[in-house]
Amino acid sequence: MSQAPTPAAAPAKRPAGRGGRNLELSDELKAYKGVWVFIEHDRGHVHSVSWELIGEARKLADTLGCPVSAILLGGPDEPLEKFAAEAFTFGADKAYIMKDPVLKGYRNEPFTKGMTDLVNKYQPEIFLLGATSMGRDLAGSVATTLLTGLTADCTELKIDPTSKALAATRPTFGGSLYCTIMTLAYRPQMATVRPRVMLMPRADASRTGEITYDTLGMIETQVVTKMLDFIADANSNKINLPYADVIVSGGKGLKNPENFKLVFELARVLGGEVGSTRPCVQAGWVEADRQVGQTGKTVRPKLYIAAGISGAIQHRVGCEAADVIVAINTDVNAPIFEFAHYGIVGNAMQVLPALTQAFAAHLALRSRQVA
Would the pLDDT of 98 be above 90? yes
Which pLDDT belongs to residue 196?
Answer: 86
User: Which residues are documented as binding site?
Assistant: 277-278, 291-295, 308-315, 329
User: Which residues are documented as binding site for FAD?
Assistant: 277-278, 291-295, 308-315, 329
Which pLDDT belongs to residue 83?
Answer: 98
- Per-residue model confidence as pLDDT tens digits over 203-219: 999 999 999 999 998 99
- pLDDT > 70 fraction of the chain, expressed in percent and rounded: 91
Which pLDDT belongs to residue 263?
Answer: 97
Q: Taking Cα atoms as reference points, which of 122, 339, 84 lies closest to residue 214? A: 122
Would the pLDDT of 21 be above 80? no
Which pLDDT belongs to residue 174?
Answer: 65
- pLDDT > 90 fraction of the chain, expressed in percent and rounded: 79
Provide the whole-model pTM.
0.79
Whole-number Å distance between alpha carbons of 272 and 309: 18
Identify any residues that bridge with 36 across adjacent strands, giving them in sequence order: 69, 127
Which helix (H) or strand (E) segment is 354 a member of? helix 348-370
Whole-number Å distance between alpha carbons of 229 and 107: 13
Would the pLDDT of 175 be above 90? no
Q: What is the mean pLDDT of residues 172-187?
A: 85
- For the chain, what is the mean pLDDT? 91
Which pLDDT belongs to residue 7?
Answer: 46
